[in-house]
Structure 1
Amino acid sequence: MQNKFTIGQMARLHDIPVKTLRYYDEIGLFEPYEVDPQTGYRYYTLEQFKKLDIIVYLKLMGVPLKEIKRKMEHSSLDEFIETLAEYQQVTKEKIRHLQRVNAQLTTRTKELEQTRHINQIGAPFIKHLSSREVVQVKAEVGTLDGTESVLRDLKKKISHITPIMIGKVGFMLSVENTKKQQFTDYDGIFLLVESDISFKHELVTLIPEGDYASIYMREKRDTTGVYYDALLNFIKAEGYKAEGPFLIRRIVDSFISHHEEERLTEIQIRITS
């Protein structure tokens, strides 16, 4: 048949699965020019190529099939321009989202790469930090189940705004609890908010700008008392005052690496003169 194409030929020519063409026929979006009444074979014509090209184009732009069908049935120049403009805006939003994701991945990758070059393990030091926006939940957390319960509840409230990622979650621990050797009786959980995300929520607060006494550790939790003591002794020796609580963040944990020597936790506490 001259200028007539089987469904298989159409699929190959347009790089579209046969099942997709069948589905387009079923929903009335792109029907064959002719169907053989005896065999049920579908045949298409050369004149239909343009219509299929437009369908593929609009679908690639993100326009839903239902909307494409409506445009194909009742369309004008103004409506077609309006459709393209609408989905151009949708595309811009997707690009902005992907740019944010890329920035977050870049920041996290850079931080993890830097952990390879940290040598001052167990040696307290002071660093000045800008204010940090966090989602904070004040709750007594002393077990893994308790931690996961708080995180799951937090995820329901804010995951549509900022994802809960490994390395962004930290714990707050009072100086009083460290003095009582209660190193896992945390007073709350905080989640670092990416710098490029701005949103308002009752749980959002700021960790203030200032000087922080910090220390890195790679050991297991049962040895953390040594590090808290080292920080407090360092602060006293340097003539500062500790403005608790301690902020503990596991930058590299067992989910990221099974090698204990690669794991890294940072403990910070704000200090004043």
Structure 2
Amino acid sequence: MKNLMKIGEMARFNQVSVPTLRLYDRMGLLKPCHIDQDSGYRYYSIYQKARLDMIQYMKELGMSLGEIKTILEQGDIQLIESTLIRKKKQVRQQIAELETRLGAITRAIESTERFRKAPNKGMTTVEYIPHRKIYVMHTDVNFYDHDISVYEEILGQLKLDILRHGLPQLYYCNAGTILPREYFLSQHLESHEIFVFLDDNFPESQTVRRIDSGMFACIYLDRFEDEPAYAAKLLEYCTQNGYTVCGDYLCEVLTEFNVFDSQHRSMFLRLQVPLSFQQ
């Protein structure tokens, strides 16, 4: 039969599978133009390639087979346009989600690299740290009045707070705490703010802050319980060297390796305060 192809030939010619053509037939997307009553063979016309090309193109644009079926049945150009506009919005959302995931992966790599190259526990340094954006949650609980079990409870509250504000859960990682400058200088350990790092494109608000870049005095440790003693060492280091602390103290969790211990949170911390060298 001139210009007719069996289903297998049609599949090979158009780089699709036979089961795909059978599915299109069942859904009414693309039915064979002829079925031999004796053999049951399905035959497609060469001219049906245009319809199959359109189906494949719409699939590449992200349309579902159900959407394609509706468009082909109705033949409405406005429906095609509105469907494409909706797909464009969906793709933009997917791109934004992938960029968020890429940023999280990049931060995880950087955290791991910092862990590998960080000074030994107890070592004090002065480092330049680029500006950062953080999401901050206030809590009535003073972290330093309790053990790590209460900290775990507050972390749970932080996760809920992040999700409630519409942020991806990917940002719930390596949470740190903030101590006001005057409290650090007097070693009055009372903190009611917990934070996580965000991408730089987040606008500043009541919950999103920018930490300016600059030189920071830092000290490293690997136990949550040791923070008060190491905060005192950090202040002593600044005092002995005549450094002026010009901002709030941060306890930053550089990285966590909880894959190694299922019972306890394994953290590597960097305590830090910004310094001013102006006379």
Instruction: State if a TM-score over 0.5 links the two structures.
Output: yes
1:154 paired to 2:140: no
| TM-score calculated relative to the size of structure 2 | 0.70
Unpaired runs of at least 5, structure 2: 144-149
DSSP-derived class of the 1:225 partner: helix
Corresponding residue of 1:115 = 115
Aligned equivalents of 1:186 and 1:109: distance in 2?
29
1:163 paired to 2:170: yes
**Aligned letter for 2:163?**
K
Cα distance change on mapping 1:154 and 1:103 into 2, 3 Å: closer
Aligned equivalents of 1:85 and 1:153: distance in 2?
33
| TM-score calculated relative to the size of structure 1 | 0.72
Aligned equivalents of 1:63 and 1:203: distance in 2?
38
Cα distance change on mapping 1:224 and 1:83 into 2, 3 Å: closer
Cα distance change on mapping 1:149 and 1:232 into 2, 3 Å: same
Aligned equivalents of 1:200 and 1:155: distance in 2?
18
Report the CA distance between 1:233 and its aligned residue. Answer: 0.6
Corresponding residue of 2:228 = 225
Corresponding residue of 2:193 = 188
C-alpha contact 2:223 2:268 (8 A) present in aligned 1 = no
> Among residues 212, 215, 219, which one is paired with 1:215 in the alignment?
219
**Aligned letter for 1:188?**
E
Q: Deviations over 1:104-155 (max 9, x none)?
A: 5345424422431223532222234444222111113533122112222212
Cα distance change on mapping 1:111 and 1:18 into 2, 3 Å: same
C-alpha contact 2:29 2:69 (8 A) present in aligned 1 = yes
Aligned equivalents of 1:188 and 1:17: distance in 2?
58
DSSP-derived class of the 1:143 partner: helix
C-alpha contact 1:178 1:228 (8 A) present in aligned 2 = no
**Aligned letter for 2:269?**
T
Corresponding residue of 1:267 = 271
Cα distance change on mapping 1:200 and 1:25 into 2, 3 Å: farther
Q: Deviations over 1:21-42 (max 9, x none)?
A: 4443344322333457799875
Aligned equivalents of 2:17 and 2:204: distance in 1?
46
Report the CA distance between 1:165 and its aligned residue. Answer: 4.6
Cα distance change on mapping 1:253 and 1:93 into 2, 3 Å: closer
Unpaired runs of at least 5, structure 1: none
DSSP-derived class of the 2:44 partner: strand
Map 1:1-273 to 2 at 5 A: 3-6=4-7, 14=14, 16=16, 20-34=20-34, 43-73=43-73, 74=75, 98=98, 101-102=101-102, 104-139=104-139, 140=141, 142-160=150-168, 163-167=170-174, 169-173=175-179, 175=183, 179=187, 186-195=191-200, 197-199=201-203, 201-217=205-221, 219-242=222-245, 245-255=248-258, 264-272=268-276
C-alpha contact 2:162 2:172 (8 A) present in aligned 1 = no
Q: Deviations over 1:54-74 (max 9, x none)?
A: 211221122343443455352
C-alpha contact 2:184 2:249 (8 A) present in aligned 1 = no
Percent identity over the alignment is 23
Aligned equivalents of 1:268 and 1:12: distance in 2?
65
DSSP-derived class of the 2:126 partner: strand
Report the CA distance between 1:189 and its aligned residue. Answer: 1.4
C-alpha contact 2:111 2:255 (8 A) present in aligned 1 = no
Aligned equivalents of 2:151 and 2:88: distance in 1?
48
C-alpha contact 1:178 1:225 (8 A) present in aligned 2 = no
